[in-house]
Chain A
C-alpha cells in the first residue's frame, strides 16, 4: 500500500484495505466504491475510489468518515501455463528482456496494469510470433533503461551467448529505448556472434492498444532469422505501423523523445527495411557479417571509468582537472563542429594524455566526420594527443572507449583500437545520402 500520513492513519484506524468496497461519508456527499491504491508520489490528503461507473476519483479526507461495505478479495491474476509444441521446421529464436514491460495485463476491475515479463506473457500477448519461430523467452533484468550500467552490458552479452550456445538461431533483446543505442554499441564490441542479435523496444507502452511493441517485435524476430549476423536495432521506420528499419548497432541513435520512428541511422544507411516479415536491403554496397561466418566470442573486459564531456561556450578546464584528479581512465569529448573545444583546454588535455589517459574527440553535430586539421585549435588538440573519433557517434565512441580500455591499458594500443573500425562504427567515406535520414 502506498498510502501515507493521514490517509494511511485513517485506513488503519478503520481497518480498511485496498480492494474493499467502502462508503466515504462527507458533510455534503457520500461516495461508494472500491478503495484503490494511490501513486507513491501523490499527497496523503485523498483516498482513491473506483466507482461503479468505472471512474476513479480522489476524495479529500479531512472531514470524511469511512464505512466498510464489503471486504475485498485480493485480485490475483493467474493465467494457465502455455503448452506450446516445438515446430522442428521453424528456427529457434530467443527473446531476452532487460526491463520495461514486453506485455501488460490489465485488470479492469481495479484498473491496475500488471507488467508481464515472462515468455508466456509475451506469447499470450503476441501469439503471431509463433508463426515465425519457436520462441524462448527469458527476463535477465527488470530495470528502466536510464538505469543501465556498463556492467549490465557484459551480463547481457553473456546471457545472449548462453542462448546461442544453447542453439538459438537468433536473439532478440527487448530493451528500454532511452539507452538502447548505448547497449547496442556495447554488444557490438563485446560480442562476436554467428547469429543475428536484434535490440528492440517500444515508444508506447504495451498496455495500450496502439503500442508499437508488436510490430517492432515481430519484425525483430524476422531480422533474427535473417543471415545478418550483426548486432542491430529494429524499430519503426516511420509514424506508420507498417515497416521497421534495421540499424547497425554502432551507428544508430535515439533522435526523438517520443515518436515511434525515433531511432535513426547516422552517417550510414540502415541495413534493411522489414515489412510483413520481408527484408529489403537498402544499400547493396553495404557489407555485413553473414550468419555463421564467425565463431561465438565474448570479449568482456571493460573499464567503465570514462568521463563523457560536452564542450560548450564558457567551459572551464577544471572539469577536466576534476575528472583526472578523480582517477578517470579515459575521456570522451563531444566537441563542437569539426572536433573542437576552446583553446584554453589544451594544457588540461595534454595533462590527461601525459598521464596515460586517452582523450577521444567526437562532434556534437552528430552528422559528419570530424577533421582536426582544418583549424588551428584542432591541430593544437591533435598535438596535445587528442585521438580523433572519425565519424563515430559520441555515444558509440564513449562505449568503444570503455571497451578499448578493457582490452589494453597502453595508451598507444587504446589509440590504435579507437582509430580502427571494429564493429562498423566508423566509415571512411561520407556519402551524399547520409544526412537526416
Chain B
C-alpha cells in the first residue's frame, strides 16, 4: 500500500506505571494484591451538573441505574484516600521526579508550575468520579529513521481502580491499583508509516526502561490513533504487542478503505434507513433455530440498499455486520442476524423469504433481526439503525479495542473534549529551573547505550549484557566489580541468571540485598569457596538468614586445600583402578563425575580435572 498517498497519519499514547515507593497522593504501596478482600464499599456516582443545566429526568434515571459500584478494599494495602474517605495527600515528589526524568529524555520542556486537575470519569474506575492528572511537560521530540516525531504532552496521573467483575448487579473494582502513578506520553499525529509506529513505541519503551518504571503485564498500555485522508480518526486501545503494531495499522487502514468503498456504493444505491422496527415473532413461531426459539421476542429492521454490503469483510473475519453487531451488543443483546449471512444458524430459506416479504424488503435491501426481550431488542435495533446511518458517511470516529489477532472492535465513541477542572485539595507545585537543570545533567543512560558500553568495557557477551540491562542489574554489576576482584562473567551470570533461578526455586530472595551478594563474592575472591557454590550459598543465606561464611560451612561448601583434594582424588582413582585399566583415558569422564559429586563446591573444577588426569595417566 502507498501510505503517503493514502494520507496515513498516526499518533501514539503510552501509559506507563512508575515504580515509586508510594502512590501519587497517598502513602500506600504501588503493588497489586490478590489477598482475600477485607472490605467492600458500595458507592453511587452522579454526573455533576455542568453549565448545560436542564433537568433531564430520563438521563438521571439512566445514570442512577448504571452508576452503582462496589469497591474492594484492605486494611493495610489501601487506605481512606483510595476509598474517597480522606482528601488526597500532597503530590508524591518522587513520581514527579521520575516523570521529569522521562520528559527530559524525550527532549521535552517541563512546565514552570504543575497543576493537578480533576478529569471527570464516571465509569466507576475512580472512587471520586474523576481521575487526578497534571501536565508535566510539552514540546519534545524523538528522532526516528523515518523522520522526527513530536512528543506533545507528558502527564502525570493516577491509575484507575482495577476492574474485577462485571455482572448484573454492576461492576466491582479493587482499590489496589487506584492511585499508582502513571505517565501518559502523547505524540503528535505525524507518524506516517506502519513500521515507524512500532519504532516510536519501541524507542519510548527504551526511554521508560532506563528509569524506574514498573515491569510486566498491565504496567504499560499503548493506544494508537489512526486515520487516512478519506477516513476518520480512530483510537485503538490496549495494543499489547509491539510486533503486532504494523499489522494492526494495516488492518485498520484496510477497514477504513473498505468503509469508504461501501459509502460510495451506498450513495450510488441511494441507500436509506427507515425508522420502522418490525415485530416478526409470527414468522419464527415454529422456527428450528434454537437461538431464536429461546428468545421471548424477535424484531427486525430493513436497511434499504444494503443487500450484500453487510456481509462485506472489513478485516479478516469481521464484516460490516460485525460492526453493527458490536453497537447492538452494547445494549445487552448477544448479537444480530443479517440477511447477507442467512439462511444459517437454523434459520431456513423460507423464513428468510417471509422475513423479506413481511418487511417489504426488495432485492437491494438487507434485513437485520435481533432476538431478545422486546425492549432490549428494540433498543439494540435502534443502535444498528444509528450505526447504519453512519455507514453513509464512511468511517466513524470511534474508540476501538485492540484484539489479539490484529483486528479491533468497537468500544465507545471518541471521548469528547476532556471535562477538567482544578483539584483544589492539592497545592500548586512550582518546578524551578535549577531542579530541571539538575535532572538534565543527571540523566540515566538509555538501555541500548548502556548495553553497548558494558560489552565494550567488560567484554561481556551480547546475551549476558542484554540480560543485565533488561533485569536492571548493570548498576549492581559495576558496583561489585569496582570493589571485588572476581571474574566478570561469573558476576554477570550470577546477576543475570542465577538469582532469578533461585527465586524461581522458591528461595526468599526479597530478603537479600546487594551487600549479601557482595559478601558471597568476597568469599570467592578470597578463595574460600568455588564459583560453583555461589548459588547454593546464596539460597541458604536467603532461607536461613545466616552469614555467607556460615552458610558455606554448614553446607560444607568451603574449599578444601589442594592437598586434601589430591588425597580424595587419589582415593577415587585407587578404588577404580580396574575401570582405568580397562578404559584408559576413557575413564576420565565417569571418574570426573564421581569426583565432582564428592567435591562439588569444595574444589575448583579445573583443579579436580588436572589432578584426576595426572593420576589416571600414572596408571595408564
Q: Which residues of A contact B (CB under 8 A)?
A: 28-29, 31, 39, 42-43, 45-46, 48, 51, 53-60, 75, 77, 79-80, 82, 103-109, 111-113, 123-125, 127-128, 203-204, 206-211, 214-215, 239-242, 257-260
Task: Report A-chain residues with C-beta under 8 Å of the C-beta of B138.
Answer: 29, 31
> In the bound complex, what is the Cα–Cα distance between A60 and B47 (angstroms)?
35
Shortest distance between the CB of B185 and any CB in chain A (Å)? 13
Is A108 a contact of B421 with CB atoms below 8 Å? yes
Known: A214-B46, A239-B83. Is A58-B428 also a contact (CB below 8 A)? yes
Known: A103-B49, A209-B130. Is A57-B112 also a contact (CB below 8 A)? yes
Tell me which of B120-128, B352-360, B504-512 binds A. Answer: B120-128
Q: B522 at the A/B interface (Cβ < 8 Å)? A: no
Is B112 a contact of A58 with CB atoms below 8 Å? yes
> In the bound complex, what is the Cα–Cα distance between A55 and B54 (angstroms)?
27
Our pick among A60, A109, A127 for the contact of B60 (Cβ within 8 Å) is A127
Is A211 a contact of B109 with CB atoms below 8 Å? no
List, sorted by A's number, 29 A–B pairs whose CB atoms are closer than 8 Å. A29-B138, A29-B139, A31-B138, A51-B135, A53-B418, A58-B114, A58-B115, A60-B112, A79-B54, A104-B48, A104-B49, A125-B48, A125-B49, A127-B55, A127-B57, A127-B60, A208-B128, A208-B129, A208-B130, A209-B129, A210-B43, A214-B44, A215-B44, A239-B41, A239-B85, A258-B80, A258-B86, A259-B85, A259-B86
Known: A39-B428, A54-B417, A240-B41. Is A46-B48 also a contact (CB below 8 A)? no
Shortest distance between the CB of A133 and any CB in chain B (Å)? 16
> In the bound complex, what is the Cα–Cα distance between A200 and B155 (angstroms)?
38
Task: Report A-chain residues with C-beta under 8 Å of the C-beta of B51.
Answer: 75, 77, 105-109
Is A29 a contact of B109 with CB atoms below 8 Å? yes
Q: B113 at the A/B interface (Cβ < 8 Å)? A: yes
User: Chain B 53-86, CB within 8 Å of chain A: the 1/0 string?
Assistant: 1110100100000010000000000001001111
Is B48 a contact of A111 with CB atoms below 8 Å? no
Q: Quick one: which of B403-436 are within 8 Å of A by CB?
A: 417-422, 424, 428, 430
Shortest distance between the CB of A273 and any CB in chain B (Å)? 15
Q: B482 at the A/B interface (Cβ < 8 Å)? A: no
Task: Report B-chain residues with C-beta under 8 Å of the C-beta of A82.
Answer: 55
Of all chain A residues, which has the CB nearest B71? A239
Known: A57-B114, A258-B85, A259-B85. Is A80-B54 also a contact (CB below 8 A)? yes
Task: Report B-chain residues with C-beta under 8 Å of the C-beta of A107.
Answer: 50-51
> In the bound complex, what is the Cα–Cα distance between A211 and B42 (angstroms)?
13
> In the bound complex, what is the Cα–Cα distance between A257 and B80 (angstroms)?
11
> In the bound complex, what is the Cα–Cα distance between A60 and B118 (angstroms)?
23
Shortest distance between the CB of B6 and any CB in chain A (Å)? 27
List the count of A-B residue pairs having beta carbons below 8 Å apart. 153
Shortest distance between the CB of A145 and any CB in chain B (Å)? 17
Task: Report A-chain residues with C-beta under 8 Å of the C-beta of B50.
Answer: 105-108
Is A55 a contact of B134 with CB atoms below 8 Å? yes
Q: B111 at the A/B interface (Cβ < 8 Å)? A: yes
Is A259 a contact of B80 with CB atoms below 8 Å? yes
Of all chain B residues, which has the CB nearest A62? B112
Task: Report A-chain residues with C-beta under 8 Å of the C-beta of B41.
Answer: 239-240
> In the bound complex, what is the Cα–Cα distance between A97 and B283 (angstroms)?
61
Chain B interface residue count, Cβ-Cβ cutoff 8 angstroms: 55
Is B46 a contact of A124 with CB atoms below 8 Å? no
> In the bound complex, what is the Cα–Cα distance between A113 and B54 (angstroms)?
17
Q: B584 at the A/B interface (Cβ < 8 Å)? A: no
Shortest distance between the CB of B129 and any CB in chain A (Å)? 3
Task: Report B-chain residues with C-beta under 8 Å of the C-beta of A42.
Answer: 428
Task: Report A-chain residues with C-beta under 8 Å of the C-beta of B113.
Answer: 46, 57-60
Is A55 a contact of B430 with CB atoms below 8 Å? no
Known: A103-B49, A239-B41, A240-B43. 8 other contacts (CB 8 A): A56-B135, A57-B111, A58-B111, A75-B51, A106-B49, A203-B85, A258-B85, A258-B86
Residue with the highest number of chain B CB atoms closer than 10 Å, among A82, A207, A209, A215: A209
Is A55 a contact of B115 with CB atoms below 8 Å? yes
> In the bound complex, what is the Cα–Cα distance between A59 and B433 (angstroms)?
12
Q: B153 at the A/B interface (Cβ < 8 Å)? A: yes
Known: A106-B49, A210-B127, A259-B80. Is A242-B85 also a contact (CB below 8 A)? no
> In the bound complex, what is the Cα–Cα distance between A125 and B48 (angstroms)?
8
Of all chain A residues, which has the CB nearest B121? A209
Task: Report B-chain residues with C-beta under 8 Å of the C-beta of A208.
Answer: 48, 118, 128-130
Shortest distance between the CB of B419 and any CB in chain A (Å)? 5
Shortest distance between the CB of B426 and any CB in chain A (Å)? 12
Q: Quick one: which of B129-148 are within 8 Å of A by CB?
A: 129-130, 133-135, 138-139
> In the bound complex, what is the Cα–Cα distance between A215 and B64 (angstroms)?
12
> In the bound complex, what is the Cα–Cα distance between A208 and B67 (angstroms)?
14
9 shortest A-B CB distances, which residue pairs? A209-B129, A58-B113, A111-B421, A60-B112, A55-B135, A54-B420, A240-B42, A54-B418, A209-B45
Known: A55-B420, A82-B55, A124-B53. Is A242-B47 also a contact (CB below 8 A)? no
> In the bound complex, what is the Cα–Cα distance between A127 and B54 (angstroms)?
10
Q: B87 at the A/B interface (Cβ < 8 Å)? A: yes
Q: B389 at the A/B interface (Cβ < 8 Å)? A: no
Shortest distance between the CB of A4 and any CB in chain B (Å)? 15
Q: B319 at the A/B interface (Cβ < 8 Å)? A: no
> In the bound complex, what is the Cα–Cα distance between A51 and B418 (angstroms)?
11
Shortest distance between the CB of B110 and any CB in chain A (Å)? 10
> In the bound complex, what is the Cα–Cα distance between A48 and B134 (angstroms)?
13
Is B87 a contact of A242 with CB atoms below 8 Å? no
Is A258 a contact of B87 with CB atoms below 8 Å? yes
Task: Report A-chain residues with C-beta under 8 Å of the C-beta of B134.
Answer: 55
Shortest distance between the CB of B101 and any CB in chain A (Å)? 19
Residue with the highest number of chain B CB atoms closer than 10 Å, among A105, A123, A206: A105
Q: B495 at the A/B interface (Cβ < 8 Å)? A: no
Task: Report A-chain residues with C-beta under 8 Å of the C-beta of B537.
Answer: none
Our pick among B47, B112, B117 for the contact of A54 (Cβ within 8 Å) is B117
Our pick among B43, B55, B114, B420 for the contact of A111 (Cβ within 8 Å) is B420
Q: B119 at the A/B interface (Cβ < 8 Å)? A: yes
Q: Quick one: which of B23-58 are within 8 Å of A by CB?
A: 39, 41-51, 53-55, 57
> In the bound complex, what is the Cα–Cα distance between A45 and B430 (angstroms)?
10
Task: Report B-chain residues with C-beta under 8 Å of the C-beta of A45.
Answer: 430
